[in-house]
């Protein structure tokens, strides 16, 4: 995908976007996978064609015309529906995107874009990509791809992505209107391999604290994370915050390799076992990059599977503290079996267990629908705004220092941080993520592109103070009635502060990529600030010290 992708246009997906999207956070829950391997289905089974024969019979003899592909999908769904919630059939048209996320790369030209006033605006250019080599810049507009016009109110992001992606080294012509003039220039490119970064940000929060945010565990995550650790240590990091919030999982090997960098040699990280899968232990091996020093792992209700493996290992060995809210509760391991037609089945083949022996899988005894609705019920019961004392399983386990932990229902953090309810206002979030504000920020960037030549993120953070100017442009786009309501919301000091911070952070992303955004936004992040407070106090040692 020709965006730095995570859930659509990451350019406009800020840190707190999930606060009120309760239903959105549970859509796709069954693809929160801990993947062990991908393999061809023919390597695992003896072929039995009874299902194919039945579908062929219906196709050939049924009284009415039927859709053979839909029959096949319905049949497979029927076979899997009474299994666990994470065993799923993935149609061919969906599989490529999911595999690209896990593989950590795709073939394209290397731009991020957003649709503003029905125009494709280039919002980022990936380093060393074909687009960068051809001179495409942030602020340029995409007019045509090959013979397809890509402007107007009918254009969609999916359509643009489809046009820009293709086989590696395949040719593509893009017609670009440069940001410096109105001349449309034809640029002929050869598509290349474009990385999909899973380490979304790595930066110094203060003089001694490094911050690393991982958005999934792909084939490239370990290399990205170890490079970030080395870079931040060279900058003076003596303690780390590892942010796994909203990380849905991925490859188990990526999670265990990263855990290995924080744990002593030979320590158990996780083990898996199932009825048809022998126990497999994953242990720390070589000397890690950060086996000593304070460590905080940030989690929430959307931290799942491989994220829970990493957080569970850190917690069970009392290697660091887990801060945030109870995790998703997914303790099952899948293998992906690719089918001849390009589809795949992700089949649960084992459960995983943290070093203390606990399996944190939530119960699905009441069916998939009840399992899927668990998050919404937790929210309605205020479990996300007051400390969540519920436990799906009361089986007691112990950490290395004999602290009590529980199985079932996810990883319960050592330090609970509820949602900051001051940011739960639907009206406020509608402003922050509105098309009008997005347009106002973009317009300011384009108009002042030459002036925004800051030497560093620190320079920008200290010097930029034009939030009110951007806000003024935003307000000018609104109708009188809407403007009146917006001003009422922004008159509240907390709302106004959050609004201005988001303007500054979103603009910083154009200048310094994701590190720019997070450098600004985490200053108002309650969970990050709680982690810093705990690590600065004697509470840290008391929490992991046990009895």
Catalytic residue positions, numbered: 305, 316, 330
Please give the helix or strand (H or E) that residue 201 lies within, else none. strand 199-204
Please give the helix or strand (H or E) that residue 528 lies within, else none. helix 526-536
The C-alpha angle 16, 433, 459, rounded to 5 degrees, equals: 70
Q: What is the DSSP string of 486-501?
A: HHHHHTSHHHHHHHHH
> What's the chain's length in residues?
547
Whole-number Å distance between alpha carbons of 342 and 340: 6
Task: Name, in order, each residue with C-beta under 8 angstroms of 339's C-beta and a sequence gap of 6 or more.
Answer: 41, 345
Whole-number Å distance between alpha carbons of 293 and 346: 38
Pairing of strands 34-40, 332-338: parallel
Q: Is 166 exposed, middle or buried (0-12, 13-18, 19+ CB in 10 A)?
A: middle
Task: Name, in order, each residue with C-beta under 8 angstroms of 479's C-beta and a sequence gap of 6 or more.
Answer: none
Q: Order the strands of the 295-299 sheet from edge to edge.
A: 199-204, 209-214, 239-243, 295-299, 321-324, 415-416
Q: What is the DSSP string of 33-88?
A: -EEEEEEEGGGTS----HHHHHHHHHHHH-SS---HHHHHHHHHHHHHTTS-TT-E
The C-alpha angle 327, 332, 333, rounded to 5 degrees, equals: 125
Q: Assess contact for 473 and 440: CB atoms under 8 A.
A: yes
Give the tokens for residue 108: 């394209």
Q: How many CB atoms lie within 10 A of CB 200?
A: 22
Closest C-alpha to 143, from 124, 166, 120 = 120
Closest C-alpha to 466, from 507, 523, 522 = 507
Pairing of strands 119-125, 209-214: unpaired
Residue with tokens 């060393």: 128
């Amino acid at each position: 995908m020709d965006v730095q992708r995570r859930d659509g246009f990451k350019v406009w997906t800020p840190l707190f976007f999930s606060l009120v999207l309760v239903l959105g956070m549970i859509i796709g829950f069954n693809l929160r996978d801990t993947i062990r391997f991908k393999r061809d289905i023919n390597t695992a089974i003896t072929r039995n064609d009874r299902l194919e024969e039945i579908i062929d019979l219906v196709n050939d003899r049924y009284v009415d015309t039927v859709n053979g592909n839909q029959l096949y999908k319905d049949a497979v769904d029927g076979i899997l529906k009474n299994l666990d919630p994470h065993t799923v059939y993935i149609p061919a048209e969906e599989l490529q995107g999911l595999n690209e996320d896990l593989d950590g790369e795709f073939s394209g030209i290397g731009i991020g874009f957003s649709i503003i006033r029905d125009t494709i605006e280039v919002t980022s250019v990936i380093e060393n990509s074909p687009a960068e080599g051809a001179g495409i810049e942030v602020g340029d507009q995409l007019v045509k791809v090959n013979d397809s016009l890509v402007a107007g109110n009918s254009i969609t992001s999916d359509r643009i992505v489809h046009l820009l992606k293709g086989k590696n080294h395949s040719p593509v012509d893009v017609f670009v209107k440069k940001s410096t003039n109105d001349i449309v220039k034809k640029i002929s490119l050869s598509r290349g391999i474009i990385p999909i970064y899973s380490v979304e940000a790595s930066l110094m929060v203060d003089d001694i604290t490094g911050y690393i945010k991982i958005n999934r565990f792909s084939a490239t995550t370990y290399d990205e994370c170890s490079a970030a650790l080395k870079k931040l240590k060279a900058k003076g990091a003596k303690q780390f915050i590892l942010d796994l919030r909203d990380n849905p999982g991925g490859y188990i090997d990526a999670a265990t390799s990263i855990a290995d960098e924080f744990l002593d040699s030979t320590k158990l990280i996780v083990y898996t076992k199932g009825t048809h899968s022998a126990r497999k232990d994953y242990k720390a091996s070589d000397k890690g990059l950060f086996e000593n020093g304070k460590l905080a792992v940030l989690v929430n209700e959307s931290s799942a599977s491989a994220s829970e493996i990493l957080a569970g290992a850190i917690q069970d060995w009392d290697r660091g503290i887990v801060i945030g809210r109870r995790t998703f509760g997914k303790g099952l391991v899948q293998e992906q079996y690719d089918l001849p037609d390009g589809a795949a089945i992700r089949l649960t083949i084992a459960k995983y267990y943290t070093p203390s022996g606990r399996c944190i899988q939530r119960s699905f005894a009441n069916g998939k629908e009840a399992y899927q609705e668990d998050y919404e019920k937790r929210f309605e019961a205020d479990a996300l705004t007051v400390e969540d004392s519920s436990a799906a399983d009361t089986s007691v386990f112990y950490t290395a220092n004999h602290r009590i932990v529980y199985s079932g229902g996810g990883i319960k953090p050592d330090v609970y941080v509820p949602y900051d309810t001051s940011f739960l206002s639907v009206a406020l979030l509608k402003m922050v993520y509105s098309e009008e504000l997005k347009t106002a920020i973009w317009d300011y960037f384009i108009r002042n592109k030459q002036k925004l030549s800051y030497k560093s993120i620190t320079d920008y953070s200290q010097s930029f103070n034009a939030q009110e100017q951007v806000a003024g442009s935003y307000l000018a786009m609104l109708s009188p009635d809407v403007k009146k309501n917006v001003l009422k919301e922004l008159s509240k000091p907390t709302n106004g502060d959050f609004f201005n911070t988001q303007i500054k952070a979103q603009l910083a992303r154009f200048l310094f990529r994701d590190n720019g955004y997070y450098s600004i936004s985490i200053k108002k992040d309650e969970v990050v600030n709680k982690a810093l407070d705990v690590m600065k106090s004697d509470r840290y040692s008391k929490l992991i010290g046990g009895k």
